[in-house]
Chains A and B, each alone.
Chain A
């Protein structure tokens, strides 16, 4: 019996690892293709049809590159730092649910490696360790640019992890559980994005920062820091960082789909029954949401310029953190009022209004300090004064 459980767990882990690593490699392909299109280029199209074999070619190239270690580097930490990042990124897969329970050979098998009743906290705990890889890589390289990249990363991670955690509290309050499967099941009627719009926005912004994605890619800002924390890395160790980053991106997208967008639960219940077909459709439905989110991540990268560092901190501490606290209070009030018989549509409308007001505040905070209109007026006045002379 124990052996059987062990076997099932190992097979599931192997499949999940393979899927996520392959998906990470193909997210890179998707990103290069899409960003290429958005910049009126074609993107990779040489290796295989539509450049589909490009990730494979890149992997082979990186395998055979020389591993270069700077002479003044701290060798031990330099070598294990990429491993820490990747392990932290891959450990989160353990609790990610991909779909409903299926029956194989008379055994009930749920489509996730395991289900913890502290699932959300587990993900927060494990993903918060990934920053060690980045900080240690930056420090052990003994390079100013690397060190600055690592420092920026640690400050950024701590600042935005708070906002990320606070945005999830509302979801936990509504679901009454921290297990990812139970949270997904609690959304059969209404996905939480309707009830927690503010939390969803905060989660998405914080997720961009946590995964070091543009516009928050300051730890590797190439215009100022060469390549940031991985400046000195080459070959497979560089690829390891790359893989960890994209694995994190996929985790964040799956988490958003499960926590806010209803997971694998189909919008119409009962049409396809509850057999194999329903399970497969559910997995595809989740996959579709993840793909849409990944597209948005790539779209934002192609659209927005990098944010300045002081503004990044301002947005995190003065914008997202208070809004996250506000959302917890609003959720508590909403749950209490609903229990006292207030109409649900009224509460949802009030919540949406609150979210719009909060977003307006956020945009004001993100706007340049000196309003461009005022600067324009000053320039015009200057030109007029010169013209008058």
Chain B
């Protein structure tokens, strides 16, 4: 069941991910991004992580990508002049990409693979995720929220300076 869902979903996710960067129109890029996020949510679902799947759609597809779409449709990037912010970034990108691929291959090749015990997730996802966040990983969770707070304050400061 898991494999039967995994391969088609993985295929769609990869094709859509390529389409995100290949699409000529930024609106289409954003929509393909939504397809990728959707496939990931379905993958979580096939692993029995319903809570994570729902949150993935609510946060990423329902809020963040809608904001992206808001900005794209408002600014219409096709009409903006095309410019490279860093001179030569296109040519620098190629060797960096090669480096990244090498690193990924090295990590995957050296990993010790072992099958997961079947159904490690408890039936009631919400309780399990809550316990994990607020008991086992409380400190990292609070640090992450602090990080987000810093980002918000930064955005407000930038907006104030512009106004």
Contacts and interface: CB of A to CB of B under 8 A. Distances in A.
A122 B54 contact: yes
B126 A151 contact: no
Interface string B50-89: 1100110110011100110110011000000000000000
B125 interface: yes
29 contacts: A117-B124, A118-B51, A118-B125, A121-B55, A122-B54, A125-B62, A128-B66, A129-B62, A131-B66, A132-B31, A132-B34, A132-B66, A135-B66, A135-B73, A136-B27, A136-B31, A136-B69, A138-B73, A139-B27, A139-B69, A139-B73, A147-B73, A151-B70, A151-B74, A154-B70, A155-B70, A158-B67, A161-B62, A161-B63
A150 interface: yes
Most buried by B among A118, A122, A150: A118
Q: Which 10 A-B pairs have the closest CB atoms?
A: A128-B62, A121-B54, A125-B57, A139-B73, A154-B70, A125-B58, A118-B50, A125-B54, A154-B66, A118-B54
Given A77-B27, A117-B50, A128 B58 contact: yes
Interface in A146-161: 147, 150-151, 154-155, 157-158, 161
A178 B126 contact: yes
Interface in A260-315: none
B133 to A, nearest CB: 15
A124 B63 CA distance: 11
Interface of B: 27, 31, 34, 50-51, 54-55, 57-58, 61-63, 66-67, 69-70, 73-74, 123-126
A286 to B, nearest CB: 25
Given A117-B50, A128-B63, 17 more contacts: A118-B51, A118-B54, A118-B125, A121-B54, A121-B55, A124-B54, A124-B62, A125-B61, A125-B62, A128-B62, A132-B31, A136-B69, A139-B27, A139-B73, A151-B73, A154-B67, A155-B70
Interface residues of A, number: 28
B51 A121 contact: yes
Interface of B is mostly: helix
Interface of A: 74, 77, 116-118, 121-122, 124-126, 128-129, 131-132, 135-136, 138-139, 147, 150-151, 154-155, 157-158, 161, 165, 178
Contacts of A150: 73
Contacts of B66: 128, 131-132, 135, 154, 157-158
Contacts of A151: 70, 73-74
A151 B68 CA distance: 11
B50 A124 contact: no
Nearest to A119: B54
Contacts of A122: 54
Nearest to A157: B66
Nearest to B126: A178
A158 B61 CA distance: 11
A168 B39 CA distance: 27
B70 A135 contact: yes
A47 B94 CA distance: 69
A116 B62 contact: no
A154 B54 CA distance: 20
A56 to B, nearest CB: 35
Contacts of B70: 135, 151, 154-155
A232 to B, nearest CB: 15
Given A154-B69, A158-B63, A124 B58 contact: yes
A372 B20 CA distance: 53
A74 B72 CA distance: 15
Contacts of A117: 50, 123-126
Contacts of B50: 116-118
B78 to A, nearest CB: 12
